[in-house]
Amino acid sequence: MKNRMKKNRDVLTGTHYAMGNVAIAEGAIAAGCRFFAGYPITPSSEIAEHMSLRLPQVGGKFIQMEDEIASSIACIGASYSGTKAMTATSGPGFSLMLESIGLAVMTEAPMVVVNAMRASPSTGQPTKTGQGDVMQPKWGSHGDYEIIALAPWSVQESFDMMIDAFNLSERWRVPVVVLADETIVHLKEKLIIPPASRIRRIERKKPKVSPEHYKPFKTGQDLVPAMATFGSPYRFYASGLTHDERGYPDMTPEAQNTLITRLNDKIRLHRDQIVQVDEFMMKDAEIGVISYGISARGVKGAVREARKKGVKVGMFRLRTIWPFPEEQIKAFASRVKQIVVVELNYGQIIHEVDRFTGSTPVKLLAKPSSEPIHPTEILEVIAG
């Protein structure tokens, strides 16, 4: 990829052989990201490395912060300056970021966080893979909040999903987390980068009223307020405290109820515009296998082998983890006789699946190992 770079090209159009982390970085730049703050941590470090090279070429800013807490807070500040911002980390660093991710939710600061998941908890196995962080984006920070989290399963999708992540973040003024497991971020595959004219960039909604009439957290029907930038003629106050439409702190029960309801409902009521899932060989399937990320690649191989043996099985892949695709899971469960959930942890997403599958029986293949689940292991569960 480096040999094909040209200064000041924000989209490196063409076909490349690239690592997942490089695809993530290039996807962010193609989406319009011009600020990266981060702290090195395996297995995400190549993202920071690549961004440190590329952002100066496209007029952006890269800064290595003193830790992950400072990195995520710097992204909030950059976002409020009017810049598309991101950081990248792994499980331990993501844990440190969770308080400020809650601040980004409360202040409605668009930003993207990549969590290159590794074998965990604690320090775990830094160079090995895992899917043990999938519940963190939704439940890791305190209080009631909604967030968006995506899970790619290929190098190409790592690029494409970064564009989706920035577009979703800007559209809904919410942090978006990309949960890319270690195998995906260190995998090398073909990457096709389309011309800039074919890349859709969504920009945040700007105020249409005069500065004297601007209320920074006043919304319309979509529940998303227009966002002015620091340094513009629009004066505003952004606080992690409960606040009113002006942004001023308000400690009344009514203000808390109004604000938290809106922050959650702007995501919950627009799930149909956010959630993405994929199906494979589900047309006549009697058994459905639910998975995501690297585990779904093993599932796809297992489904093909099972079909050769006459087993009517298909795959349902979660591209969006949060908000959880409740309605899609309900419809999926009504079409099959049995469901198998496959994930590279000790059983996490299965608890969400269980809530929406009704009477359809659910089996779990959970493996808290540090290597991807092999198709033969999945085939044994399907056949059993």
1: pLDDT confidence band, cut at 50, 70 and 90? low
8: pLDDT confidence band, cut at 50, 70 and 90? low
Q: Report CA torsion sign: 54, 56, 59, 64.
A: positive
Position 251 pLDDT exceeds 80: yes
Kindly list the distances between the CA atom of residue 131 and the CA atoms of 1, 64, 189, 379, in Å, as whole numbers in the listed order: 28, 26, 21, 20
Q: What is the pLDDT of residue 9?
A: 74
Kindly list the distances between the CA atom of residue 328 and the CA atoms of 151, 265, 324, in Å, as whole numbers in the listed order: 16, 19, 9
* Domain boundaries defined on the chain: 2-198, 277-383
Q: What is the DSSP letter of 337?
A: S
236: pLDDT confidence band, cut at 50, 70 and 90? confident
Q: What is the pLDDT of residue 203?
A: 96
State which fold the 277-383 domain adopts.
Rossmann fold (3.40.50)
Q: What is the pLDDT of residue 49?
A: 98
Position 4 pLDDT exceeds 70: no
> Residue 368: is the preceding peptide bond cis (ω within 30°)?
no
254: pLDDT confidence band, cut at 50, 70 and 90? very high
Are 23 and 156 in contact by the 8 Å Cβ rule? The answer is: yes
Kindly list the distances between the CA atom of residue 85 and the CA atoms of 12, 54, 175, 254, 340, in Å, as whole numbers in the listed order: 20, 14, 10, 33, 37
Task: Specify the CATH number of the domain 2-198.
Answer: 3.40.50.970
Tokens of 153: 């399963």
Mean pLDDT of 218-233: 95
Residue range 40-71, pLDDT digits in tens: 999 999 999 999 999 999 999 999 999 999 99
Q: What is the pTM of this model?
A: 0.96
Q: Is 258 left (phi over 0), alpha (psi -120 to 50) or beta?
A: alpha
Intrachain domains 2-198 and 277-383 with the same fold = yes
Position 377 pLDDT exceeds 70: yes
